[in-house]
Structure 1
Amino acid sequence: MSNKRRELKDFVFENTEPPSDSQQPTATVALSAITLPSQQPRRYFDPIKMEQLIQSVKQHGILENLLIRPIQNQPGQYELVAGERRYRAAQSVGLVEVPVTIRELTDSEAVAIALVENLQREDLNPVEETEGILQLVALRLECAQNEVISLFYRMQNDVQRLNDNVIIQPQAESIKAIFSELGLMGWESFVSNRLPLLKLPEDVLEVLRSGQIEYTKARAIARIKNDQTRKELLEDAIAYNLSLSEIKRKIKEIEQQSQPETSSLKDLADETFRRLKKSQVWDDPKKKTKVEKLLTQLKALIEDDNSN
C-alpha cells in the first residue's frame, strides 16, 4: 500500500488505526455472495481498460483482494466496498470465488473508503472526481451536498474579502484538511475550476462522464445555448477528435451565422427612421397620430428593456 493511500485510510477513519494489509482478515468468498452497494460513487468504466483487466484476470486471476463487509442479518452475504472493476472482471471471466478482505464497517465508513479509492484512480474523469469530492466532504461534515456547495462559495467570498468568518471557520478548517489529505488540488482551485462543471448542460456532462471529451473542449462547447446546435458540435468533436482550437473556430462560425438576422433588423430600423424623417406623414394629421402612437409604444418598449 502506498504512503498516500495509507494516509487516506487513516484520514477516513479519523482516530481509529486501520490494520495493515498483512493484518487484515483474508478469505475466499463465492462471487455470488457479494452484491454491489445501492449507491456507487463511480458510474463509468473505460471499456478498453476494462477489457485489459478482464484479460489480466483470465491469465493471472484476481491479484488484489476485494474489500467487502458483512450484510447485517444476512449470514454469508456481503456488500462490496472497494474493487468494483475487479468484481466486474471476475463476473465476465466466470470466476466462482474471489479473494477478499472482510471488514466490519459502518455505512459512512464504507462510503468513505469507496470514495477515497475512486478519487485515487488516475482514469477518474473530472465530473466523477468533482462529484466524489463533494460526497466525501458532505459525509465528513454530515450535511447535504447543496449545503457543502454553498459553504465552498462562502469560503471563497471570505478569502476574496480578506474576512475570517468565525461562524463557518470550523467547517472551513475541516474542508482544508480534506483537500490536504487527498492531495489532488487545493480547495480554491476546486471552487473556481471544478464546481462550475456541475452547471454545464446535461448533454455535455454526459460525454464528460463517459470520458469521450476533455474538460476544456466540453466547457467551450457548453457556451452554445441552442440545444440542437450544441449536440451536433459535440458529436462532431467526438467523431473527428477536433482540437480545442478547431472547436473554438466552429463556435465562432456558429456565432457569426446568428448575427445576420440581428444585423438586418438593425438595418431595417435605421432605414425606416431615415425614410420617416424625410416623409410627408408629418403633414397628414391622421398619419401623424398613428406615428406618434407607434413611437410612444417603441419608447415604452425600449425603457422596459433598459429597466431589466
Structure 2
Amino acid sequence: MASKSNQPYKGQANLSILFGDDDTDKFAKTSVSLLSIELPSSQPRRYFDSQAMQSLVESIKRDGILQPLLVRPLNNDRYELVAGERRYRAATEVGLKEVPVVIRQLTQQQALHIALIENLQREDLNPIEETEGILEFLSSQLEVCQDDVIRLLYRMQNDIQRQNDNVIIQPEAETIIKLFTQLGVMSWESFVSNRLALLKLPERIIEALRKGQIEYTKAKAIAKVKDEQARNELLDTAIADNLSLTQIKERVAALKAMFGKEKAEETLKNQMKVTLSKVYKSKAWNDPKKQKRLQKILAELDSLL
C-alpha cells in the first residue's frame, strides 16, 4: 500500500483537485460563528476514536485550531461543513464561539468529492471505513449506486481471469482504473480481492474493524468460525489478549475440529433414528431370513457398546 504521505490528495491540497491550484493561500480565509456551520446530510466518516479526539481537544485548548475548516456557503449566513469534521467536533467540545474557515463556492457533488478524499487520507482510517469510502468515491464519480460499482468491479476481475491478460475495454472500467491510480491507496485488483469480502463479514466483526480493535487479516480468520457464539467469544478474546494471527488460526482450527466432530456425532444419531424407524415400520423380525441377520447386527452393536 502506498504511504499516505506520498499520495496526491493530502491536507489542503484537496482543494487543488477541483480548482487546479496548489496555492491554498489564495482561498478566502476568515472566521465564522461555530453555530452557523451545519454538518452535511451525507457524512463519509462514521467512527471517531475517542482517544484521538481527546488528544485533538487538548491540542485545540492549548494552541487553537491551526488548520481552517473548509465550508461552502448556504443561505442566510449559514455554511455547510465540507472538510474538517474532527476539528469541528473538537471545537464544539471545547466551547469555541468562532472557528477559522476557508469558504469556497462548491456544488454538492464537489463538496462530497472533497469530503470523501479527505476521509480517505486519514492516518487512522480503518479498513472497513477505507473500503466504504472508496466505494462511495467510485459511486459518486461514476454516478451509479454502490451495488453497481461492486458488480462492475467483479466483472472486471472475471474478464481479466478469462482473458488471461490485462486488457480492459469497458469505458467504466477504464475510469475505475484511473480513479484508483489517482487515489494511490491500492490497485483495483487488490481492492476486489482483499477488501470487498470485508463487507460480507459478520456484523460484530465489522464493528470491531470499524473501531480499529482488530486487524482485517485477523478478522477474516475469525470469520471462518461458523458458530456465532464461538466466533464472538474468539473475537472478544483476540481483542482482549491481542492474539497474533497464528494464535487465532490455531484456535479457529481447533474450533473447526470440535464442531466437525459434533456434527459427525449428530449425523450418526440421526442415521440411527432413521434406521430404527425403518426397522419398526418394515417389521423385519417377522421374516425368518432377516431374523438371523438382525440378530447378528444387534449382537455386533451390543458388543460395540
TM > 0.5 between the two?
A: yes
**How far apart, in 2, do the equivalents of 1:196 and 1:189 lie?**
11
Matches within 5 A, 1:146-225: 146-162=147-163, 164=167, 166=169, 169-225=170-226
* Structure 2 residue runs without a partner (length 5+): 276-282, 294-305
**How far apart, in 2, do the equivalents of 1:3 and 1:220 lie?**
30
Q: CA deviation at 1:48?
A: 1.4
Q: CA deviation at 1:28?
A: 0.3
TM value normalised by structure 1: 0.82
Mark the CA change 1:283 to 1:230 in structure 2 (over 3 Å): closer, same or farther: closer
Give the secondary-structure state (helix, strand or coil) at the position aligned to 1:258. Answer: helix
**How far apart, in 1, do the equivalents of 2:91 and 2:241 lie?**
34
**How far apart, in 1, do the equivalents of 2:148 and 2:35 lie?**
39
Structure-1 residue corresponding to 2:120: 119
Q: Contact between 2:34 and 2:99, CA under 8 Å: does it hold in 1? A: yes
Mark the CA change 1:2 to 1:156 in structure 2 (over 3 Å): closer, same or farther: closer
Mark the CA change 1:202 to 1:174 in structure 2 (over 3 Å): closer, same or farther: same
Mark the CA change 1:79 to 1:288 in structure 2 (over 3 Å): closer, same or farther: farther
Structure-2 residue corresponding to 1:299: none
Give the secondary-structure state (helix, strand or coil) at the position aligned to 2:61. Answer: helix
**How far apart, in 1, do the equivalents of 2:266 and 2:132 lie?**
45
Structure-2 residue corresponding to 1:105: 106
Percent identity for Structure 1 against Structure 2? 51
**How far apart, in 2, do the equivalents of 1:261 and 1:19 lie?**
64
Report the aligned-residue RMSD.
2.7
Amino acid at match of 1:226: D
Q: CA deviation at 1:47?
A: 1.4
Q: Contact between 2:69 and 2:100, CA under 8 Å: does it hold in 1? A: yes
1:53 aligns with 2:56: yes
**How far apart, in 2, do the equivalents of 1:75 and 1:58 lie?**
30
Give the secondary-structure state (helix, strand or coil) at the position aligned to 2:9. Answer: helix
Structure-2 residue corresponding to 1:39: 42
Mark the CA change 1:8 to 1:252 in structure 2 (over 3 Å): closer, same or farther: same
Structure-1 residue corresponding to 2:82: 81
Structure-1 residue corresponding to 2:20: 17
TM value normalised by structure 2: 0.82
**How far apart, in 2, do the equivalents of 1:57 and 1:150 lie?**
44
Deviation string 1:138-186 (CA, Å, 9 cap, x unpaired) is 11111110000000011111111227564xx211111111111111100
Mark the CA change 1:156 to 1:38 in structure 2 (over 3 Å): closer, same or farther: same
Structure-2 residue corresponding to 1:5: 9
Give the secondary-structure state (helix, strand or coil) at the position aligned to 1:49. Answer: helix
Amino acid at match of 2:113: A
Mark the CA change 1:37 to 1:258 in structure 2 (over 3 Å): closer, same or farther: same
Q: CA deviation at 1:265?
A: 5.2
Q: Contact between 1:34 and 1:80, CA under 8 Å: does it hold in 2? A: yes
Structure-2 residue corresponding to 1:300: none
Q: Contact between 2:15 and 2:22, CA under 8 Å: does it hold in 1? A: no
Q: Contact between 2:15 and 2:24, CA under 8 Å: does it hold in 1? A: no
Mark the CA change 1:207 to 1:286 in structure 2 (over 3 Å): closer, same or farther: farther
**How far apart, in 1, do the equivalents of 2:238 and 2:22 lie?**
48
Q: Contact between 1:8 and 1:182, CA under 8 Å: does it hold in 2? A: no
1:64 aligns with 2:71: no
Mark the CA change 1:244 to 1:202 in structure 2 (over 3 Å): closer, same or farther: same
Q: Contact between 2:7 and 2:184, CA under 8 Å: does it hold in 1? A: no
Q: Contact between 1:236 and 1:242, CA under 8 Å: does it hold in 2? A: yes
**How far apart, in 1, do the equivalents of 2:244 and 2:111 lie?**
40
